[in-house]
Chain A
Amino acid sequence: MAAPKRIEIQDLRLSYGGREVLHGITLDVEANEILAIIGPAQSGKTSLLRCMNRMIDVIPEARVSGTVKVDGVDVRSIRNVCELRRKIGMVAPLPVGLPLSIYDNVAFAPMQAGVTGTAELDVLVERCLRRAALWDEVKDRLRTLGSKLSGGQQQRLTIARALSHQPEILCLDEFSIAIDPITTARIEDVLRELRSEMTVVMVTNLVQQARRLADRTAFLLNGDLIEIGPTEAVFSDRPARRETYDYVQGLFG
């Protein structure tokens, strides 16, 4: 069963002002899977995600080599980078409620993409907020400021916003740092459901979360891809590499 490849990364190298942080990463993301990327701090997980939707362009000193293909197209050849970013939903690790109303936070992307019908927007906003497990808490105050929500709520608002432009690939970077375990479990359920519609790439520091959710898991260490494989294999007693075993078992360092 050769699933089609959504993202193909070939020998990706990234350096910030001469300091290389990704040393030739090669990995594929298959359609409709959940791929977890784990690894300690400074291992290049966030940078890897930024290369996928070209947010790396924003960092002036970043130099990229190698290729990242999304649906077979090299992202660096894409002229209309907004189109690429709409295709990829990105949840940044730090929750950001835009200084707009909760409603507009979610409606911002569809509105900028040309969706104007009020009814259509209402439906979309509700669906995204429900999926992010935020709807019940904010449904009576959609006109209040998104930037005044609590940290955990803002993080879920960020998830809702990433879903708002109906991406085909969803990248989550540490989506549950500020979210309580029960709500996290609800979002995890949603992610499992979303698998039928989209491909999910999630960076997480919670190795158990990767174990619970991911079909495959990639282990990154200091800018090298140590191992990628089915989650059961990575979390088994005999992963391909010794470092992987140590990390997932918490024996590191």
Chain B
Amino acid sequence: MSPTGSHPPMFQATARVRRKQLAERAAQWFFGFMAAALIVPLVAIIAYLVVKAWPSLSWEFLVTNPRGGGVRGGIWSALVGTVYLVVFSLCVSAPIGVLAAVYLNEYARDNWFTRTVNLAVVNLAGVPSIVHGLFGVGAFVYALHFGRSIISASLTLAIMTLPVIIASTKEALAAVPMAFREACWNVGASRWQTIRGVVLPNSISGILTGVILQVSRTAGETAPIMLTGVTIYKAFDGGGFFLYAPTEQCMALSMHLYYIATQASGAAPSLPYAIAVVLLALVLLVNAVSIVLRVYLRSHKKW
């Protein structure tokens, strides 16, 4: 018998190989379909909202204040209120969250204290937002006498976002290989020198992405702020950006949407959709910024 007699010709598919190829293709299509299916709801939501909102949408709508109890005019003061809340709350939660995460990831040893803090972070992240709102009422509005104000609402939002910022920052720091830290320690660098010289520069993209993603979450929340500092309507004469003092109540897009959609009478049918479009656009804009930032910083990745 010749040596090749019992073998099929080389590089020709056997039945087993064909089966494998079929399974490979099937798996690829199946997973691909699932991934594509994610896009459908997003596109559907946006298309539906924009079509419904179309009669109300205009530049005027964006930059004029609501009038007549909110059912007429634009949404400027609500948009500004949301920006205030987001900026103030992140000013509090981002530094505390990032610094706490640096401590937990870079300094803390594995002991009962660290474990307690980590447990607290995980549990805090799971607390429903309405409970955060009630806590904010008790702690900031009454106990600390901040009243129903932007301060109270922002602090409530800050407490809500803090655990998520800590978690995402820890993840970004943990992505920096341990070998880099050891190499620095080996040459006699202190922990802080190592953090400043190597760890932070290489995790800043992940840290910033985590923080920025909290903007969209903060902007969308209604429950915690409606109890602590957001009002359903406030009349303004002038425009501009500096509409509120931090000790005042403000309007916010999410609350405005809720109010117009469920409580107010006499609003144009397209109005709630238009508010939703603006809120969604704000969130998507921030997400886009974070994606661009991530892509930019990743292209500068150093290992």
B193 CB contacts on chain A under 8 angstroms: 112
Task: Decide yes or no whether B198 CB sits under 8 A from chain A.
Answer: yes
Indicate whether A55 reaches chain B with its CB closer than 8 angstroms.
yes
Verify B187–A108 contact, CB threshold 8 A: yes
Among A85, A145, A158, A164, point to the contact of B185 (Cβ < 8 A): A85
| Interface status of A12 (Cβ within 8 A of chain B) | no
Question: B189 touching A109 by the CB < 8 A rule?
Answer: yes
What residue of chain A has the Cβ atom nearest to residue B178's Cβ? A58
Q: Is A13 an interface residue (CB 8 A)?
A: no
| Total of A-B residue pairs, C-beta within 8 Å | 73
Whether B186 pairs with A85 at a CB distance below 8 angstroms is yes
Would you call A92 and B189 a contact (CB within 8 A)? Answer: no
Alpha-carbon separation in the docked complex, A84 to B186 (Å): 10
Q: A100 near B: Cβ within 8 Å?
A: yes
Query: In the assembled complex, which residues on chain A have CB atoms less than 8 Å from the CB atom of B185?
Result: 55, 58, 85
B62 to chain A minimum Cβ distance, whole angstroms, is: 43
**Residue in B109, B186, B198 whose beta carbon sits within 8 Å of that of A100 in the complex:** B198
Contacts of A86 in B (CB 8 A): 187-188
- Complex Cα spacing A81 to B110, Å: 20
Once the chains bind, are A161 and B183 in contact (CB under 8 Å)?
yes
Which residues of A from 125 to 184 have beta carbons under 8 Å from B? 145, 147-148, 158, 161-162, 164-165
- The contact of B302 among A58, A96, A145, by CB within 8 Å, is A145
A94 to B202, CA, bound (A): 20
| Distance between Cα atoms of A82 and B192 in the complex (Å) | 12
- Is B128 interfacial (CB-CB < 8 Å)? no
B303 CB–A CB distance under 8 Å: yes
Q: Do B184 and A98 have beta carbons less than 8 Å apart?
A: yes
Contact present for A99 and B202 (CB under 8 Å): yes
Which residues on the A side are within 8 Å of B189 (C-beta)?
A: 82, 108-109, 112
Interchain CA distance A105-B19 in the complex, whole Å:
52
The A-contacting residues of B in range 170-186, CB under 8 angstroms, are: 179-180, 182-186
Is B126 an interface residue when CB atoms closer than 8 A count as contact? no
A83/B182 in contact, CB under 8 A: no
* Nearest chain B CB to A169 CB, angstrom units: 13
Which of A83, A98, A158, A162 has the most CB atoms of chain B within a 10 A radius of its CB?
A98
* Cα distance, A112 to B109, chains bound together (Å): 24
Q: Write the nearest CB–CB distance from A116 to chain B, whole angstroms.
A: 14
A90 interface residue (CB < 8 Å to B):
yes
A253 surroundings in chain B (CB, below 8 A): none
- In this complex, the interface size class of chain A, counting residues with CB under 8 Å from chain B, is 20 to 34
Kindly list chain A residues whose C-beta atoms are within 8 Å of the C-beta of B201: 99
A98 and B198 in contact (CB under 8 A), knowing A60-B109, A145-B302?
yes
- B197 CB-CB contact with A under 8 Å: yes
Bound-state CA distance A75–B198 (Å) is 27
> B190: CB under 8 A from chain A?
yes
Contact partners of A112 in chain B: CB under 8 A: 187-190, 193, 197
Q: How far is the CA of A145 from the CA of B302 in the complex (A)?
A: 7
- Which residues of chain B are near A162, meaning CB under 8 Å? 186-187
Chain B nearest CB, measured from A84 CB (Å): 8
Known contacts: A108-B197, A145-B302. The answer to whether A85 contacts B202 by CB under 8 A is no
The answer for the CA separation of A162 and B187 in the assembled complex, in Å, is 6
Contacts of A85 in B (CB 8 A): 185-188
- The CA-CA distance from A83 to B211 in the complex, in Å, is 37
Q: A112-B193, A112-B197 are in contact. Are A96 and B180 (CB under 8 A)?
A: yes
Contact in complex: A99, B188 (CB < 8 Å): no
Chain B residues within 8 Å of A161, by CB: 183, 187
B-side interface residues toward A, CB under 8 Å? 109-110, 179-180, 182-190, 193, 197-198, 201-202, 302-303
Identify 16 new A-B residue pairs, CB closer than 8 A, beyond the known A83-B188, A99-B302, A147-B303: A55-B186, A82-B188, A84-B188, A90-B187, A92-B183, A96-B179, A98-B184, A98-B198, A99-B198, A108-B187, A109-B187, A109-B188, A145-B302, A145-B303, A161-B183, A165-B188
Show the binding face of A for B, using Cβ within 8 Å: 53, 55, 58, 60, 82-86, 89-90, 92, 94, 96-100, 108-109, 112-113, 145, 147-148, 158, 161-162, 164-165
14 A/B residue pairs, CB under 8 Å, sorted by A: A86-B188, A92-B182, A96-B180, A96-B183, A100-B302, A108-B184, A112-B193, A112-B197, A113-B188, A148-B302, A148-B303, A161-B183, A162-B186, A164-B187
